Amino acid sequence: MAEPGNGRAVVIGVDSSTQSVKVEARELDSGTVVATGTARHPATSPPVSEQDPEAWWAALVGAMAALGDDARDRCVAISVAGQQHGCVLLDDADVPVRPAKLWNDTTSAPQADALVERFGAERWAADIGSVPVASFTITKLAWIAEHEPDALARATRVMLPHDYLTWRLTGEHVTDRGDASGSGWFDPTSNTVRADLLAAAVGDWDGDVPRVLGPTEPAGQLTAAAAAALGLPAGVVVAPGSGDNMGAAMGLGLGAGDVAISLGTSGTVFAVSNTATHDADGAVAGFASATGSFLPLVCTLNATKVTDTVARWFGTDPAGLADLALAARSEPGAVMLVPYFDGERTPNLPDATGTFVGLRNDTTREQLALAAHDGVLCGLLDGVDALRRVGATVDGRVFLVGGGARSTAYRQRCADLLGTVVTVPDADETVATGAAAQAAAIAGSIAVDDVARRWQLGTGTTVEPDPATDRRRRYAETIGAS
């Protein structure tokens, strides 16, 4: 196995998202990408959104094979950043008792409402930094306790998606404070598990939650079985990993005040903060970062899937829809889209649907395409205002990441609607990059921030704005009237 710091060592970052797993092998010293691989996950369709955790492992094995022998042989450390909030339950034979409920499964909305009503939004915000909604793991546990008590009774441990893959790698039932902060039973300010909140969701269930690791604490080493399955050397160190948004923050090298806007299946806006946030209104989740600070975040359920759907209606692809949208920038018309196609998380409207408002006989395809992009962005950019409202500093750099960042329309309209310069980073897969940076930090016993500087993370293409502030005002009026 290559030794850290000799110029040959490689680290591997894993991004296990709702749609796929992506792996990225980078040289430890320079951060140069030497190989990548990807594999699909089973498709889901909310409001019921579930996947077999075994499928994640099978996809990881397949994606790792694509890296090639050289990259795998040189690996010294690996880290997993995974989709947040999902609920994985294992029995005493370490087999999932049921498919994992994912973050975008909204069937637990009644349980979320009941938990908030029981203690009050202000207490939840004070205790864990967030007010639970249907995406949070604790609400999914409550749903299973109510609807599938036999499954819960057979379960001996609960974990989040990234925890499951870390467990498959190491045999250790662990998590990190970043991903734990989205569970609903962990206080990131005091770094403690709140057994009382967990009991409120599941009663006297005696299953185990993951042990929470610190930012520089390794999860362990690859087991012999995992090393053989993935084609990696024995002794590879496994970093603590984190949630996907925390991974993206590391992959961008975010500093205090920097803002990331992520366009994927969901949309997120987050910023690095040195202090915790507590929003009783529930718009801002008071998450922890993977590096010891905090990561206040706003999440919307509907992002690129909306424009993918509209593109399909138009008989084109996302790039074709982007071209149509940009053609309407000078004459956007009156039409706006409320993009709640799969319900919505922020605002908390799990049963909502999408609506085109302001349709006229002279509305064009181009204007409809622009409304689709603007609707997704306006709802998400309201999150920047929400971060500022709860005391987060958002006056630094603005990054646009995720699959939507490849879209010329999303890039330009994000800058236009914010009225500020937006940077699209050169690193295309920021979550996998962030996981790789964490692996490098663990392997080299240095801070992730030092890795980010050495690898020059956060550099990219800048997009200048042509301010379109009137569109955000009109979107707000549309939401208020709907």
Q: Tens digit of pLDDT for each residue in 105-161?
A: 989 999 999 999 999 999 999 999 999 999 999 999 999 999 999 999 999 999 999
Asked whether residue 98 carries a pLDDT value surpassing 60, the answer given is: yes
Over the chain, what is the mean pLDDT? 94
Catalytic residue of the set 244, 258, 279, 374: 244
- Distance between CA atoms of residues 317 and 102, nearest Å: 27
Q: Where are the domains of the chain?
A: 10-244
Between 265 and 253, where is the model more confident? 253
Query: With contact defined as beta carbons under 8 Å apart, do 192 and 209 qualify?
Result: no
User: At 482, is the pLDDT very low, low, confident or very high (cuts 50, 70, 90)?
Assistant: low
**DSSP assignment letter at 277:** -
pLDDT score at 402: 86
pLDDT score at 264: 87
Asked whether residue 470 carries a pLDDT value surpassing 90, the answer given is: no
- Distance between CA atoms of residues 74 and 10, nearest Å: 5
User: At 6, is the pLDDT very low, low, confident or very high (cuts 50, 70, 90)?
Assistant: low
Asked whether residue 301 carries a pLDDT value surpassing 80, the answer given is: yes
Asked whether residue 295 carries a pLDDT value surpassing 80, the answer given is: yes
pLDDT score at 161: 98
The fold of the 10-244 domain, in CATH, is Nucleotidyltransferase; domain 5 (3.30.420)
pLDDT score at 16: 97
pLDDT score at 31: 96
What is the tens place of the pLDDT at every residue in 417-442?
A: 999 999 999 887 899 999 999 999 99
pLDDT score at 45: 86
Q: What are phi and psi of 117, to 5 degrees?
A: -65, -35
- Distance between CA atoms of residues 181 and 284, nearest Å: 13
- Average pLDDT, integer, range 241-259: 94
User: At 208, is the pLDDT very low, low, confident or very high (cuts 50, 70, 90)?
Assistant: very high
Is 258 among the catalytic positions? Answer: no
User: At 56, is the pLDDT very low, low, confident or very high (cuts 50, 70, 90)?
Assistant: very high
Asked whether residue 90 carries a pLDDT value surpassing 60, the answer given is: yes
- Average pLDDT, integer, range 56-67: 98
Between 4 and 31, where is the model more confident? 31
Query: With contact defined as beta carbons under 8 Å apart, do 72 and 232 qualify?
Result: yes
- Average pLDDT, integer, range 294-315: 95
pLDDT score at 428: 79
Q: Say how far residue 282 (Cα) sits from the centre of its chain.
A: 18
User: At 393, is the pLDDT very low, low, confident or very high (cuts 50, 70, 90)?
Assistant: confident
- Average pLDDT, integer, range 286-305: 94
Asked whether residue 5 carries a pLDDT value surpassing 60, the answer given is: no
Distances (CA, A) of 190 to 127, 184, 292, 394: 9, 14, 12, 24
Asked whether residue 275 carries a pLDDT value surpassing 60, the answer given is: yes
Rounded percentage of the chain residues whose pLDDT exceeds 90:
88
